[in-house]
Amino acid sequence: MSRQVFINGELVPQTEAKISVFDHGVLYGDGVFEGLRIYGGKVFRLEEHITRLFESAKAIWLNIPIAYDAMCRAVNDTVRANGLSEGYVRLIVTRGVGTLSLDADICKNPQVIIIADTIALYPSELYETGLEIVTASTVRNHPAALSPRIKSLNYLNNILAKIEGMKAGCIEVLMLNHKGEVAECSGDNLFLVKRGELFTPPIDAGILAGVTRNAVIELARAARIAVHEIPLTRHDVYVADECFLTGTAAEVIAVVKIDCRLIGTGKPGPMTRDLERRFKELTTNC
C-alpha cells in the first residue's frame, strides 16, 4: 500500500518523497527524530514526544522550521491521511542541504519528514515466551561526547551493538555505559524486578529518557510498586527475579535469558505480565 509522507508542509505519495543527497542528515547523520505509536487512531503521548524532539534539536543547535503546535497537527494529519488505526510514526528533522563540509551554518533549509506506517518490532510469539539477549561489547556513547538524551539520526552506536546481538542469534542486546554499568538495550530501556520492587538505570547512566519507560514508571507507582532509578550492574541483571524491556515499538516485553543465564524461572514473570496488562489498558484509553 502506498503511503502519504509529509515533507515540509506537504503530503506526497511515498514514491515522490525525496530529499537531496547533499542533505546533512544523509551525509553526516545530522538531525533528530522521534518514533511515536498510534493506538485507536490516536498518537500516544504526542506532546511528550514533540517536546523531546524540540529539546533534542535545541541541544544540537538545529532550528525546527515548524512551530510546536503546527508540528503536533502535522503528525495527526499524516496519521489521518494514511487511515491508520494502529501503527507507528517516524518524525525526522534534518539539518538540510549543504555541501561536503561539516559546517552546519551553510545548511539553511531544515527538512521535516513524517512517515506513518505499520510496525512489528518483535515476533508476536516472543511476547509470550520472552526474549533472550546478550551483552554487547559496544558500549553506549560517552555522555560527554554525545548525550544519549539527544535522539539523533546518528544511530551507529546502537546499530553496531544490534549487529553483535544478531551475530549471536539474539535480536536485542544489553549495552553498558563507559563505567561498565547497565545502560539500556540497542533500542529499548531495561527494567529489573527484585523482591517485588522495580529497578531501572537512572537518566545519568547514559540512557534515553524513554516515553514508554516514563509511562511504565507512572503505572508502577500508581500500583504502589516501589520504583528505584539507581545504577545497576550485570550482576543485578543475572540475579533478578524478572527482567523486561520497554520502548515505543517494543511496548513491554519480557527478557528470560541473558548471556546464557536464565532470569528467574526462565519465563515472563508476574510483575512483567501485570505491567504489560496495565500498559495495554493505558494505550487502549489514550
The catalytic residues are 151
Nearest Cα neighbor of 140 from 90, 203, 192, 48 is 203
Task: Tell me the C-alpha distance between 112 and 72, whole Å.
Answer: 12
Q: What is the rounded distance in angstroms from the CA atom of residue 233 to the CA atom of residue 5?
A: 42
DSSP code, position 104: G
Q: What angle do CA 15, 50, 28 make, to 5 degrees?
A: 55
Q: CA 92, 69, 81: angle at the middle one, nearest 5?
A: 60
Residue whose C-alpha cell reads 539507581 in the numeric block: 230
* Residues sharing a CB contact under 8 Å with residue 128, sequence separation 6 or more, in sequence order: 268
Most distant CA pair in the chain, distance: 57
